[in-house]
Amino acid sequence: MVYPYYLLRKTFKECLKSAIMGTTSYEQIKLFAEVIAFSVLTVTVVMAMRIRKRLGASLGRREVNNTIIGFLIFWSGYFVNVLNDIIKTEFMKVFDDVLVALGLIWILVTAQPIYGKLKLKSAPSKVFDGTRVLKSGAYLVNASMPLQRLLRLLGGWKLLAVARNAERFRESDIPTLWITKISGENRIEPSRLAPLLQYIVDRADDNTAVIIEGVEYLILENGFDAVFKFLTSLKDNILSRGALLVLVVDPKTLEERELKLLEREFSWLNVS
């Protein structure tokens, strides 16, 4: 691998020297352009490798790693293509095309799950009109409270729900993200707390009420500490925008320590 690197470097210098002296041929111009393109591609691949952990946290580690493998195959094909202009053989001429095609196919196939995870289109919308009963804040609601009763309390707010039991909310025409491991539109994996936080914050304003249902499921998949950190960060962002946050929880499913920590950050919504 070291020899081709120095060979490319030497070729690049010769092309640059020829360009300056005005003796550049069409073949040299072509090679010069390919070396520049290959250099840019190399930098792009290196940058992707450096941020793959961050991308994996948002889009799925396995999916991101598989897609990067495709880019590496494509990069290898382009590398062989550049070498083919220096060391011309019939094998390399065919091999570079095979690698490029294989890399592109790999990227196309492995990027499909990532595309599915990006399709989150739900936006807040008003369900019940009327004067607001609740002001901006962070609240806890017992899971036993009927949904229609909760919706009446949220009259005058634009609603957005993130729920494990998504159908329950969609039946009331509430824009809802379904917490599930199955990829698809308006669905999000329970482990993707960082992108979920960003998604909600981007859509919250002083007219928005966000309902989170399925906290217990999030805890099961991520652990309480990670979910508590997510919820407190979400709460701070929601309140800073003048919005409202409601957590629908069943106290019986939480440990005493967990419930007390939530009660420090959220107030119980008790309406007789």
Task: Kindly report, residue by residue over 168-208, the tens digit of the pLDDT.
Answer: 998 888 999 999 998 878 889 999 898 899 889 988 888 99
Instruction: Walk me through the domains of the chain, giving residue ranges and CATH numbers.
Output: 2-118 (no CATH), 125-268 (3.40.50.300)
Phi first, then psi: give them for residue 161, nearest 5 degrees: -115, 145
Report the 10 Å Cβ neighbour count for 182: 8
What residues does 139 pair with on adjacent strands? Answer: 246, 267
Q: Which residue has the higher pLDDT, 95 or 119?
A: 95
Has residue 120 got a pLDDT over 60? Answer: no
Q: How many residues does the chain have?
A: 272
Q: What is the pLDDT of residue 1?
A: 45
Has residue 272 got a pLDDT over 60? Answer: no
Q: What is the pLDDT of residue 265?
A: 95
DSSP state at residue 172: T
Q: Are 245 and 139 in contact (CB under 8 A)?
A: yes
Q: In the structure, what pLDDT confidence band is assigned to residue 13 with cuts at 50, 70 and 90?
A: low
176 phi-psi bin (left φ>0, alpha ψ -120 to 50, beta other) = beta
Q: What would the mean pLDDT of 40-51 be, rounded to a whole number? A: 82
Q: Between vectors from CA 151 to CA 147 and to CA 157, what angle results, nearest 5°? A: 150
Token code pair at residue 129: 């009109």
Where does 82-136 show beta strands of DSSP type E?
125-126
Q: What is the pLDDT of residue 258?
A: 95
Interatomic CA distance for residues 79 and 82, integer angstroms: 5
Token code pair at residue 222: 């991520």
Has residue 234 got a pLDDT over 60? Answer: yes
Q: Is the dihedral angle over the CA atoms 61, 67, 73, 79 positive or is it negative?
A: negative
Has residue 2 got a pLDDT over 50? Answer: no
Q: What would the mean pLDDT of 223-235 be, rounded to a whole number? A: 95
